[in-house]
């Protein structure tokens, strides 16, 4: 194609055109020494590519205009496209951004090859320099490079213009579950090389120390000059002074020179292999020399020596079967959309590392290049995923030859860019795009170019997990019930590792049965883990007054997951879009400001490097790592006991045993086992500074029960003021503003709504129970109140027995649920307290939120928090803030007055400022008005959370069954 055809071409309508004028992708890092073009650019937004020029404004590059301009706002869809045109068509209303700026080309670049690099543009990029067309690029998540040597003059200014078209044929294969944005989303660089330059460098480093470096050399002037050669030097890192290390340098390498290719070989003795637990890296420098020995070009790389292979049905790293404790990650920021900084990405990975994740799937496209550098450094296994998802038109596109070039282009360019990163252990062909010839073509290219890593693609294996001919080396289903996974592993038909690419959907208050899932994985050969969906809640900070994104100026307007007054976390539909998928974008394990959700503590404990077991007086410490000992950890023993009214926590330093990976050791009990209920916790912290955590950072809190609780005798009735009831037979108490009544409903979680449970509860009328008193009678010192609640599945009989006891009031309750109420949210009591009781102290699980099927990460202990910190602000208000396994609690005012509740048996308790109906009615937290008092739920039974918004519901054991439920509690005044 000639340059003069560029203007006439409409690339947003041509799927067979993936690029023009764009240089080949390579793994030579040019960021060092480049001239950054980031910053303020002239900008105008047109209604379509053919629109007339408008008024120039300013915009920041990199950045999305959808979070900056206010004229074209973000839109969220999951599977559906945001417009109705069929592939490859795009809508006529097609926002188009024009970027322009002048740059002075350094005079010292005279005679050099000058290259422009655009880190990413969504979705079609057209480049003009000094009024001349330079090139076209598609793929919103990979860089495009263009040779400007013929269109700029060193020492003179040059005018660079980018035309970015939002919608195109390419949009149909970028139909990912995320916000639709547009703009120049990654950095723009200008750099220069000698005409004789390194065109590509491929590094293969084996765990036995063997190193091979393949170099491609080109000359912009044409044929390569005579006598050029390549040298390389590897320098070890993290070496102790007394460690012998045989380093090789240029003199040890053998060079093979033919047709612009060179190969360097060497062997590192006593190499330190790279793993996610031990991310050892070596600095490699490759130099291209002219015949006279002068250096024409240099490329620097950080090398990790490691092997990846599949043996049978196991994925092995350095010969070891490793558990993949993964999470799916988007490039995301609540103020800047897709644009993220190096500090942002490091903060992401630090949070992941601190909560036990060892793997990342780059859902659903290649992430910013810096992420891979950080994954190499901090230690993560990466599934690198191509920017291919045709969710809304998957079946027709998978075999459409018009899209064949795009499939191969996107997969191959990803591999060419990221192949030298030791963190990348698997290539993914994309996501949710059915399966067809286009995938097979892309897989064939990868297998030829990089046989050192396996390939995965969920669509290729979903029809038959045992099919060895599909273009996937790993069975990587989405949200498969763990029972199905176990059955497959035990069937005798399994031929490949089973590692779910998505499981445990983290939408709202979710991730139930996570511990049960991992118990099955760890006890079933053939199952090796998976990737939680996902890391982020993709809430965009929005100004409530005008409905626009807060933009870069919104920094500091959020904290601990909560937006400042006048702002809120926006999700689908909040920007006025008519086609959207609501709060389905809020499905991460962290809030939009990276505050961890409670599930993170659950995952941290499940993935902990240290575990405890206690059986028949024997205490064992288990090293659950694959490659590392426990020497990097320090610990402290804590004994929690509760004997009647006596509660205490004892502490003593712990000496961790020398335990090899995967092994266990018996250790003496640090305390005598006391009478009554007692729990032993090992608080594990970092012993030294780690790259992802300073010394003393908490790593895990494994806990075992030592002594069982002794059932307390029911308190004896006491003389004193009689139980007071009002005209409706409701308890009157000086510290209660709403009397205790039966509760069978909760503000539906996202799982409840999307899983269909909430609709059933509403049909039954559980959200608006009407109490009818049937009987009130005195039985000696007791007052019995019997009430009946009508539901769509039959009446519920509720009995309360009030007894005055020493220092308080004992309440014994029962509820009889008819057979038709076979799955309710809860069975328990709800009441409201007087204002001023603002601190909760409790004995039970905590301090984090926990529920019956998500409680492993909340150790039993004595905990205390302000009431306002108990509530979890999930983006769409819903049931939250519960604490599982609570035995007793105190709500107190600053003057130490208040009330204490003792539960007859450990139960689910929640204390917050909102009634369930208020939470259910609100779409955002700015709509909620906190009550001055507390709303208290005491549940004898509470339904598990599950992940039914996209995946399996909770297990049967966590459902609330019909029949008779009994519970008791004692209320005392401080």
Tens-digit pLDDT profile for residues 134-155: 999 999 999 999 999 999 999 9
Out of 67-76, 96-105, 945-954, least confident range:
67-76
The pLDDT mean for the chain works out to 94
The question of whether 432 is a catalytic residue gets the answer yes
Give the number of C-alpha atoms closer than 13 A to the C-alpha of residue 166, restricted to the C-beta side: 24
Within a 10 A sphere around the Cβ of 84, how many other Cβ atoms?
Answer: 10
Residue 245 pLDDT exceeds 60: no
The answer to whether 763 touches 771, Cβ cutoff 8 Å, is: no
Both tokens of residue 514?
């996570």
Residue 237 pLDDT exceeds 70: no
Both tokens of residue 337?
């959309």
* pLDDT given for residue 229 in this prediction: 93
Cα separation, 610 vs 628, in Å, equals 11
Better-scored residue on pLDDT, 257 or 635: 635
* pLDDT given for residue 850 in this prediction: 98
What is the arithmetic mean of pLDDT over 647-662? 93
Length of the chain in terms of residues written: 974
User: Which residue carries 């108990």 as its tokens?
Assistant: 870
Q: What is the per-residue pLDDT across 376-429, written as a single tens digit (0 to 9) for each?
A: 999 999 999 999 999 999 999 999 999 999 999 999 999 999 999 999 999 999
Better-scored residue on pLDDT, 965 or 235: 965
Give the number of C-alpha atoms closer than 13 A to the C-alpha of residue 638, restricted to the C-beta side: 17
* Residue 885: Cβ-neighbour burial (10 angstroms; 0-12, 13-18, 19+): buried
* Percent of the chain at pLDDT exceeding 90: 90
Residue 346 pLDDT exceeds 70: yes
Cα separation, 47 vs 45, in Å, equals 7
Cα separation, 369 vs 363, in Å, equals 14
Q: What is the per-residue pLDDT across 799-857, written as a single tens digit (0 to 9) for each?
A: 999 999 988 999 999 999 999 999 999 999 999 999 999 999 999 999 999 999 999 99
Give the number of C-alpha atoms closer than 13 A to the C-alpha of residue 467, restricted to the C-beta side: 14
The answer to whether 871 touches 880, Cβ cutoff 8 Å, is: yes
Residue 713 pLDDT level (bands cut at 50, 70, 90): low
Q: What is the per-residue pLDDT across 32-69, written as a single tens digit (0 to 9) for each?
A: 889 999 999 999 999 999 877 788 999 999 999 999 98
User: Which residue carries 């301009």 as its tokens?
Assistant: 69
Residue 13 pLDDT level (bands cut at 50, 70, 90): confident
The question of whether 280 is a catalytic residue gets the answer no
Residue 5 pLDDT exceeds 60: no
Cα separation, 177 vs 430, in Å, equals 13
Q: Which of 122, 174, 280, 432 is catalytic?
A: 432
* pLDDT given for residue 646 in this prediction: 63
Angle between helices 599-606 and 514-522 (to 10 degrees): 20
Q: What is the per-residue pLDDT across 768-788, written as a single tens digit (0 to 9) for each?
A: 999 999 999 998 889 999 999
Residue 873 pLDDT exceeds 60: yes
User: For the chain, how far is it from start to end, CA to CA, in angstroms?
Assistant: 85
Within a 10 A sphere around the Cβ of 399, how many other Cβ atoms?
Answer: 15
Q: What is the per-residue pLDDT across 544-563, written as a single tens digit (0 to 9) for each?
A: 999 999 999 999 999 999 99
Cα separation, 420 vs 215, in Å, equals 12
What is the arithmetic mean of pLDDT over 881-908? 96
Residue 648 pLDDT level (bands cut at 50, 70, 90): confident
What is the arithmetic mean of pLDDT over 565-585? 96
Q: Which are the contacts of 726, defined by CB distance < 8 A and separation ≥ 6?
A: 732, 739
Residue 644 pLDDT exceeds 70: no
Q: What is the per-residue pLDDT across 79-113, written as a single tens digit (0 to 9) for each?
A: 999 999 999 999 999 999 999 999 999 999 999 99
Phi, psi of 457 (to 5 degrees): -160, 115
Facing residues of 703 across strands?
681
Render 698-716 in DSSP notation, one character per residue: EEE--EEEEEPPPPPPPPP
Both tokens of residue 376?
């190499």
Q: Which of 122, 502, 753, 799 is catalytic?
A: 502
Residue 236 pLDDT exceeds 80: no
* pLDDT given for residue 732 in this prediction: 96
Q: Which are the contacts of 615, defined by CB distance < 8 A and separation ≥ 6?
A: none
The candidate with the shortest Cα–Cα distance to 209, out of 279, 283, 274, is 274
* pLDDT given for residue 10 in this prediction: 82
- Strand, coil or helix: 160: strand
Q: Which are the contacts of 343, defined by CB distance < 8 A and separation ≥ 6?
A: none
What is the arithmetic mean of pLDDT over 17-39? 93
* pLDDT given for residue 649 in this prediction: 87
């Amino acid at each position: 194609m000639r340059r003069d055809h560029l203007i006439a071409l409409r690339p947003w309508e041509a799927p067979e055109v993936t690029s023009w004028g764009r240089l080949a992708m390579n793994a030579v890092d040019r960021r060092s020494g480049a001239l950054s073009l980031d910053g303020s650019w002239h900008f105008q937004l047109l209604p379509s590519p053919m629109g007339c020029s408008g008024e120039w404004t300013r915009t920041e590059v990199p950045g999305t205009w959808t979070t900056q301009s206010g004229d074209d706002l973000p839109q969220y869809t999951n599977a559906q496209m945001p417009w109705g045109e069929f592939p490859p068509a795009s809508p006529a209303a097609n926002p188009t951004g024009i970027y322009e700026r002048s740059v002075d080309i350094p005079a010292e670049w005279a005679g050099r090859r000058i290259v422009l690099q655009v880190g990413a543009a969504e979705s079609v990029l057209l480049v003009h320099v000094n009024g001349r067309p330079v090139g076209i690029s598609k793929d919103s998540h990979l860089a495009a490079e263009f040779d400007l040597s013929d269109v700029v003059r060193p020492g003179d200014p040059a005018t660079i213009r980018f035309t970015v078209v939002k919608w195109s044929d390419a949009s149909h294969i970028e139909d990912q579950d995320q916000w639709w944005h547009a703009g120049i989303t990654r950095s723009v660089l200008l750099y220069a090389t000698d005409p004789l330059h390194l065109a590509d460098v491929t590094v293969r480093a084996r765990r036995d120390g063997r190193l091979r470096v393949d170099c491609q050399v080109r000359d912009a002037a044409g044929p390569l000059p005579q006598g050029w050669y390549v040298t390389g030097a590897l320098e070890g890192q993290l070496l102790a002074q007394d460690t012998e290390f045989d380093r090789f340098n240029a003199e040890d390498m053998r060079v093979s020179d033919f047709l612009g290719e060179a190969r360097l070989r060497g062997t590192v003795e006593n190499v330190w292999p790279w793993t996610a637990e031990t991310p050892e890296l070596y600095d490699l420098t490759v130099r291209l020399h002219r015949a006279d020995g002068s250096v024409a070009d240099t490329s620097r790389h950080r090398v990790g020596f490691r092997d990846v292979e599949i043996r049978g049905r196991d994925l092995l790293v350095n010969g070891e079967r490793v558990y993949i404790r993964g999470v799916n990650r988007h490039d995301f920021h609540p103020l800047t959309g897709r644009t993220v900084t190096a500090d942002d990405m490091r903060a992401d990975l630090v949070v992941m590392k601190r909560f036990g994740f060892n793997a990342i799937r780059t859902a659903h496209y290649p992430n910013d290049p810096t992420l891979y550098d950080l994954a190499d450094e901090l230690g993560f296994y990466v599934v690198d995923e191509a920017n291919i998802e045709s969710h809304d038109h998957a079946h027709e596109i998978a075999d459409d030859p018009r899209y064949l070039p795009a499939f191969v282009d996107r997969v191959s360019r990803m591999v060419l860019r990221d192949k030298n990163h030791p963190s990348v252990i698997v290539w993914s062909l994309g996501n949710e795009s059915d399966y067809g010839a286009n995938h097979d073509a892309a897989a064939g290219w990868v297998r030829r170019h990089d046989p050192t890593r396996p390939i995965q693609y969920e669509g290729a294996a979903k029809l038959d997990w045992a099919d060895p001919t599909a273009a996937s080396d790993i069975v990587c289903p989405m949200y498969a019930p763990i029972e199905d996974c176990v059955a497959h592993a035990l069937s005798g038909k399994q031929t490949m590792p089973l590692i779910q690419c998505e499981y445990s959907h983290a939408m709202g208050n979710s991730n139930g049965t996570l511990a049960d899932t991992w118990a099955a994985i760890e006890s079933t050969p053939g199952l090796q883990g998976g990737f939680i969906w996902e890391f982020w809640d993709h809430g965009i900070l929005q100004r409530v007054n005008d409905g626009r994104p807060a933009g870069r100026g919104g920094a500091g307007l959020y904290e601990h997951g909560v937006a400042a007054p006048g702002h809120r976390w926006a999700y689908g539909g909040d920007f006025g879009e008519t086609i959207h998928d609501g709060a389905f974008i809020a499905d991460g394990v962290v809030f939009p400001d990276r505050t961890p959700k409670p599930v993170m503590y659950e995952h941290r404990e499940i993935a902990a490097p240290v575990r405890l077991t206690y059986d028949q007086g024997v205490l064992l410490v288990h090293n659950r790592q694959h490659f590392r000992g426990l020497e990097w950890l320090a610990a402290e023993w804590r004994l929690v006991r509760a004997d009647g009214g006596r509660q205490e926590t004892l502490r003593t330093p712990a000496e961790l045993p020398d335990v090899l990976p995967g092994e266990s050791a018996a250790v003496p009990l640090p305390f005598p086992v006391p009478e009554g209920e007692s729990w032993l916790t090992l608080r594990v912290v970092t012993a030294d500074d780690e790259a992802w955590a300073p010394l003393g950072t908490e790593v895990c809190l494994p806990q075992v029960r030592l002594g069982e609780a002794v059932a307390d005798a029911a308190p004896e009735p006491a003389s004193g003021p009689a139980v007071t009831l009002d005209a409706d037979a409701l308890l009157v108490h000086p510290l209660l503003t709403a009397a205790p009544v039966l509760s069978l409903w909760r503000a539906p979680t996202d799982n409840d709504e999307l899983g269909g449970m909430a609709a059933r509860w509403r049909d039954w009328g559980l959200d608006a129970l009407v109490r009818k008193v049937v009987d009130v009678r005195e039985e000696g010192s007791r007052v019995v109140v019997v009430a009946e609640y009508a539901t769509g599945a039959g009446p519920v009989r509720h009995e309360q027995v009030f007894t005055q006891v020493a220092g308080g009031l004992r309440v014994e309750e029962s509820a009889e649920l008819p057979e038709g109420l076979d799955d309710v949210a809860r069975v328990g009591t709800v009441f409201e307290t007087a204002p001023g009781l603002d601190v909760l102290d409790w004995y039970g699980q905590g301090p984090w939120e926990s529920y019956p099927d998500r409680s492993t990460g909340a150790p039993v202990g004595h905990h205390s928090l302000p009431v306002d910190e108990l509530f979890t602000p999930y983006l769409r208000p819903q049931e939250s803030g519960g604490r599982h396994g609570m035995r007793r609690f105190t709500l107190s005012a600053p003057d130490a007055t208040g009330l204490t509740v003792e539960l007859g048996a450990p139960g689910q308790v929640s204390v917050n400022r909102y009634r369930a109906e208020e939470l259910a009615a609100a779409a955002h937290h700015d709509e909620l008005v906190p009550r001055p008092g507390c709303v208290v739920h005491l549940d004898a039974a509470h339904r598990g959370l599950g992940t039914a918004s996209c995946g399996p519901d909770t297990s049967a054991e966590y459902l609330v069954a019909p029949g008779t439920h009994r519970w008791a509690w004692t209320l005392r005044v401080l």
